[in-house]
Structure 1
Amino acid sequence: MKKIVILTLLFATGLFSCEEALNTQPSDFLSPQYYYNNETELSYALNGVYDMLGKTGMYNGGDGLTTTWDVADEMFTTASRGAQVYVYDAGDNVVNLIWRYMYTGIERANVLLDNLEKPEMSEEARDNIEGQARFLRAYYYFVLVQNYGAVPLRTLPTASVNDIAYPRVPADEVYDFIIQEMEAAEKLVPSILDQNMAGRISKSAVWGVLARVNLYKAGFPVNDVARYADALKWSKQVIDLGYHELNPSYEQFFINLIQNKYDTKESIWELEFFTTGAGEPYGETGGLGNNNGISQQDLDLGFSGAQYRVQKHLYDLYDSTDTRRDWAIAPFAYSKNFGPEKVYWLPTQIYNRNIGKWRREYELTANKIKNYNGTNFPLLRYADVLLMAAEAENEVNGPTILAYQWLNQVRERAQTTLYTDAEMVSSQGEFRKLIKDERSRELCFESWRKLDLIRWNILIPTMKTLAEEAYLMGGSFRGPATVAANNITQKHLLQPIPLRELSLNKMLTQNPEW
Structure 2
Amino acid sequence: MKKYIYSIYILLVGFMTSCVKLDTEPTDMASSLTYFSNDTEIEYALNGVYDKIGSNYIFGGGDCLSTIFDATDQFWGSTSPSIAVYDYTASDVRVSIIWRDLYTGIERANILLKNINDAEMDEDQKMVTIGEAKFLRAFYYFMLVQNYGAVPLKTEPTESANDVSFARTNASEVYDFIYAEMVEAESLVNPITDYSYAERVTKSAVQGILARVSLYRAGFLNRKDKSEDQIREYYTNALFWAEKVINSGLHDLNPDYAQVFINLIQDKYDTKESIFEIGHFTDGAAGVFGSSEIGDLGNHNGIPQQLTQYGYSGARYRLHPKLFKTFEYNEEYQDTRRDWCIADYLFVRNSNPPEKEYWIDEQGEAYEDPNKLVYRRIGKFRREYELEEDKIKNYNSTNNPVLRFSDVLLMAAEAENELNGPTPKAHQYLNRVRNRAQISEIENITSKDEFLEIIQDERYTELCFEGFRRMDLIRWGILVEEMSEMVDFNRANGLTHITFNRAGVNISERDYYLPIPVREISLDPLLTQNPGW
For residues 521 and 17 of structure 2, the distance between their equivalents in structure 1, rounded to whole angstroms, comes to 20
Other structure's SS at 2:139 match:
helix
Structure 1 residues 299 and 12: CA distance shift in structure 2, 3 A: closer
Q: Which residue of 2 aligns with 1:407?
A: 430
2:481 pairs with 1:461: yes
Amino acid of the structure 1 residue aligned with 2:150: A
Select which of 320, 324, 334 maps to 2:337. Answer: 324
Q: Quick one: which of 491, 494, 504 aligns to 1:471?
A: 491
User: How far apart are residue 65 of structure 1 and its match?
Assistant: 1.1
Give the secondary structure class of the aligned counterpart of 2:401.
strand
Amino acid at match of 2:490: A
User: RMSD value over aligned CA atoms?
Assistant: 1.6
Q: Name the CA distance, whole Å, in 1 between partners of 2:430 and 2:262.
A: 24
What is aligned with 2:155?
155
Q: How far off is 1:53 after superposition?
A: 1.2
CA distance in 1, matches of 2:28, 2:281: 29
The answer on whether the counterparts of 1:15 and 1:26 sit within 8 Å (CA) in structure 2 is: no
Distance in 1, Cα, partners of 2:52 & 2:269? 21
Aligned to 1:512: 531
Which residue in the other structure is 1:354 paired with? 377
- The 5-angstrom pairing of residues 76-475 of structure 1 reads 76-223=76-223, 224=226, 225-226=231-232, 227-277=234-284, 280-282=287-289, 283-320=292-329, 321-336=334-349, 338=351, 339-346=353-360, 347=367, 348=369, 349-420=372-443, 424-475=444-495
1:5 paired residue number: 5
Q: State the AA in 1 paired with 2:327.
A: Y
Deviation of the 1:27 alpha carbon: 3.9
What does the per-residue CA deviation read over 1:335-366, in whole Å, with 9 as the maximum and x for residues that have no partner?
01544211112402100011100000000001
CA distance in 1, matches of 2:139, 2:14: 21
Distance in structure 2 (CA, Å) of the matches to 1:13 and 1:80:
39
Assess if the C-alpha contact under 8 Å between 1:323 and 1:415 holds in 2. Answer: yes
TM-score by length of 1: 0.96
Matched, 1:499 2:499: no
Structure 1 runs of 4+ aligned residues shifted over 6 Å read none
The whole-number CA distance in structure 2 between the counterparts of 1:168 and 1:294 is 42
CA distance in 1, matches of 2:252, 2:274: 9
Task: Report the Cα offset of residue 10 of structure 1.
Answer: 7.4
- Say if 1:79 and 1:85, in contact at 8 Å, map to a contact too: no
Per the TM alignment, residue 264 of structure 1 is displaced from its structure 2 partner at its CA by: 0.3
Question: Contact conserved, 1:276 with 1:369, CA < 8 A, in 2?
Answer: no
Q: Within 5 A, what are the aligned runs for 1:39-58?
A: 39-58=39-58
In the other structure, the counterpart of 2:363 is none
* Offset from partner CA, 1:406-462 (integer Å, 9 cap, x none): 100001111111123xxx321111111000000010000011000100000000011
Taking the aligned partners of 1:435 and 1:491, their CA distance within structure 2 comes to 26
How far is the alpha carbon of 1:59 from its aligned partner? 1.0
Q: Offset at 1:31? A: 1.0
Secondary structure of 1:248 counterpart: coil
Structure 2 CA distance for aligned equivalents of residues 377 and 29 of structure 1: 28
8 Å contact 2:239–2:412 — kept in the other structure?
yes
Q: Offset at 1:8? A: 5.1
SS in 2 for 1:336: coil
- How big is each residue's C-alpha offset from its partner over 1:10-68, in whole Å with a ceiling of 9 and x where there is no partner? 776676633x6211125444211221111011111111111111111111112111211
| 1:187 aligned counterpart, secondary structure | helix
Task: Kindly state the Cα deviation for residue 484 of structure 1 after the two structures are TM-superposed.
Answer: 0.6
Q: Deviations over 1:120-162 (max 9, x none)?
A: 1111110111000000000000000000000000000001111
Contact 1:275 1:285 in 2 (8 A): yes
Check whether the contact 1:16–1:104 (CA below 8 A) recurs between aligned residues.
no
Amino acid across the alignment from 1:335: V
The letter for the 1-side match of 2:417 is N
The Cα shift of 1:117 comes to 0.8
1:17 paired with 2:26, answer no
One-letter code aligned to 1:500: R
User: Are 2:407 and 2:463, in contact at CA under 8 Å, matched by a contact in 1?
Assistant: yes
Q: Deviations over 1:235-279 (max 9, x none)?
A: 000000012000010001100000000000000000111133166
Contact map agreement 1:37 1:118 (CA 8 A) in 2:
yes
Q: 1:15 to 1:373 in 2, by over 3 A?
A: closer
Q: For 1:133 and 1:326, locate their aligned partners in 2 and report how far apart those are by CA, in whole Å.
A: 39
Moved more, 224-233 or 278-287: 278-287
Unaligned runs of 5+ in 1: none
Output the CA distance in 1 between the equivalents of 2:501 and 2:327. Answer: 21
Higher mean alpha-carbon deviation, 244-253 vs 3-12, is at 3-12
Q: How far off is 1:479 after superposition?
A: 2.0
Instruction: Give distance in 1, aligned partners of 2:187 and 2:279.
Output: 24
State how far apart, in whole Å, the 1-side matches of 2:59 and 2:529 are: 26
Q: What one-letter code is carried by the residue in structure 2 that aligns with 1:229?
A: T
Separation in structure 1 between the aligned mates of residue 205 and residue 31 of structure 2, nearest angstrom: 33
Identity in percent: 51
Q: Distance in 2 between matches of 1:433 and 1:367?
A: 45
Say whether the 8 Å CA contact 1:73–1:463 is kept in structure 2.
Answer: no
Change (3 A) 1:399 1:13: farther
- Alignment check: 8 A CA contact 2:77 2:318 kept: yes
Decide whether the 8 Å contact of 2:421 with 2:448 is kept in 1: yes
Of 454-463 and 64-73, the range deviating more from structure 2: 64-73
The AA in structure 1 aligned to 2:119 is P
CA distance in 2, matches of 1:513, 1:10: 44
Asked if 1 retains the 8 angstrom alpha-carbon contact of 2:82 and 2:88, the reply is yes
Cα distance 1:404–1:337, how it changes in 2: closer, same or farther (>3 A)?
farther
Shift of residue 79, structure 1, vs aligned partner:
3.8
CA contact (8 A) 2:12 2:47 kept: no
The whole-number CA distance in structure 2 between the counterparts of 1:87 and 1:127 is: 45
Local SS of the residue matching 1:169: coil
Query: Contact 2:214/2:237 (CA < 8 Å) preserved in 1?
Result: yes
1:460/1:489 contact within 8 Å kept: yes
Farther-moved stretch of structure 1 (278-287 vs 62-71): 278-287
Partners in 1 of 2:112 and 2:282 — Cα distance? 28
Question: Do the aligned partners of 1:312 and 1:350 also contact (CA within 8 Å) in 2?
Answer: yes
Deviates most, 278-287 or 364-373: 278-287
SS of equivalent to 2:220: coil
Name stretches of at least 5 consecutive residues in structure 2 with no aligned partner.
Answer: 361-366
Aligned counterparts of 2:180 and 2:14: Cα–Cα separation in 1: 29
Return the alpha-carbon distance in structure 2 between the equivalents of residues 173 and 97 of structure 1. 24
